[in-house]
Structure 1
Amino acid sequence: MLYYYSLQSRLGTITLVQAGEALIRLILSPQDADLVKDPYLARQFLGEELEERRTDLMDRFVIQLAAYLKGKQKGFDLPYQLYGSPFARRVWEELGRIPYGETVSYGELAKRCGTEGVQAVGTAVGNNPLPLILPCHRVIRADGALGQYSAGEGPSTKRLLLQLEGAAFREQVT
């Protein structure tokens, strides 16, 4: 059984998806409302029912999100399960190691993942199934500019999160 729950926050609508005792998706974009569009999830949970329900784990997320948005918590301590290729999972796990208030470039993240494939790393970052929990907003361009952000309202959400954390970045000229 898969459970999902949507809540409103200053980041917009957040939808959580839980399987068993772990979060498997955190969706910040209303346009990503197809909860199991990820092919790994679709294969893993083929035939599973999707039920709207706010669980204890989701309540823990709501409490931690409120503390994070007030600057009182530096991250999230919640069980999650990653579904993706081994490479994507390695990138996502490395996202979780980027400290609060710090940023790394896509190139640096690629080095940390043991690859020179910056573009492949960028793709994996863009497909992060648990933004906020695995803080992909902390990955910026080599020149210090924000770069892309596929969650929420895009770069404006990324800017808000980095400002909240006091992280250094350069405004992009469009």
Structure 2
Amino acid sequence: MHETIRFAWGISSLGDFLLAVSEKGIVALEFSSARMATEDALRMRFPQAVLERSDEGIASMTAIVAGLVDDPAAGCNLPLDLRGTPYEKQVWQLLREIPAGQTTSYGALAGRLGTRDAREVTAAIASNPVAVIVPCHRVIKKDGSISGYRWGVRRKHVLLARERQPVAPEKRIENRCGRRAGYPARGVVVCAVDLAGKPAAHCATGGQRVGNPGCAVSGRRGK
């Protein structure tokens, strides 16, 4: 039986992005303005899967991602379903261990993997399919200069700058689950969600919009 991968396009302060999810979690998060080409690349990457456009079905997840782009230091609890070689997944896990606001070098990562040759590490980083959440933007050259980035060096500069000056915690939204949710997109509460794009069973907001009398959001939108 073929697996189903749902995808949707979102809009962020750093441009349009495609979000694709399996039953287990996010398989792709890519910035792109070339929508047709990006969707074709997704089909080529998952030739045995049924790809389903699901703008409404994963709307809450795309809203969380858009907020994370604005505040990449906030962290993200969305589940991931990383597909790659064992070595690539090992490198991607090391990327997720780099604290927000800090950077490392390709050589330092290679050293952690027991080799002096950073070429394989560089190739694995370049193959990372999930922007921001798997923070490959935190890897720079040994001399401290900004190196290439799969989704453009300008975006890398901006993400690093935002992590050096993160949004104050009191300006972030929190729901009753206590999960930090970043900024809502167009007034939508971005709470913990399940993979169907619906609020998780323990979330008290029910996905209502900010300002609704019944909304249980305990914070305010950042200005």
Place the TM-score, normalised by the shorter chain, in its bin. 0.7 to 0.9
Tell me the matched-pair count. Answer: 158
Contact 1:16 1:26 in 2 (8 A): yes
Q: For structure 1, which segment, 76-85 or 139-148, has the greater mean C-alpha deviation from structure 2 after superposition? A: 76-85
Structure 1: 5+ residue stretches without partners: 168-174
> Which aligned runs of 4 or more in structure 1 are off by greater than 3 angstroms?
54-58
Counterpart-to-counterpart distance in 1, 2:133 and 2:30 = 11
Shift of 1:92: 0.7
Alignment counterpart, residue 35 of structure 1, candidates 38, 42, 57: 42
Q: For structure 1, which segment, 58-67 or 88-97, has the greater mean C-alpha deviation from structure 2 after superposition? A: 58-67
Q: For structure 1, which segment, 56-65 or 5-14, has the greater mean C-alpha deviation from structure 2 after superposition? A: 56-65
Written as runs of structure 1 = structure 2, the 5 A alignment for 1:18-97 is 18-31=21-34, 33=38, 34-38=41-45, 41-42=46-47, 46=48, 48-54=49-55, 59-63=60-64, 65-66=66-67, 69-70=70-71, 73-97=73-97
Q: TM-score, normalised by structure 2?
A: 0.65
Counterpart-to-counterpart distance in 1, 2:93 and 2:56 = 25
Counterpart-to-counterpart distance in 2, 1:57 and 1:90 = 28
Shift of 1:60: 3.4
Shift of 1:64: 5.2
Shift of 1:115: 2.8
Counterpart-to-counterpart distance in 2, 1:35 and 1:110 = 29
- In the alignment, which residue of structure 1 is the partner of 2:205? none
Identity of aligned residues (%): 32
Does the alignment pair 1:140 with 2:153? no
Amino acid at match of 1:161: L
Larger-Rg structure: 2
Cα deviation digits, residues 34-93 of structure 1 (max 9, x gap): 21444xx44xxx1x211100366551352354155147x522111111111111110011
Q: SS at the partner of 2:42? A: coil
Cα deviation digits, residues 87-134 of structure 1 (max 9, x gap): 111001111001000000011111223333301101110110111010
Alignment counterpart, residue 8 of structure 2, candidates 5, 9, 22: 5
Contact 1:94 1:113 in 2 (8 A): no
Counterpart-to-counterpart distance in 1, 2:132 and 2:10 = 15
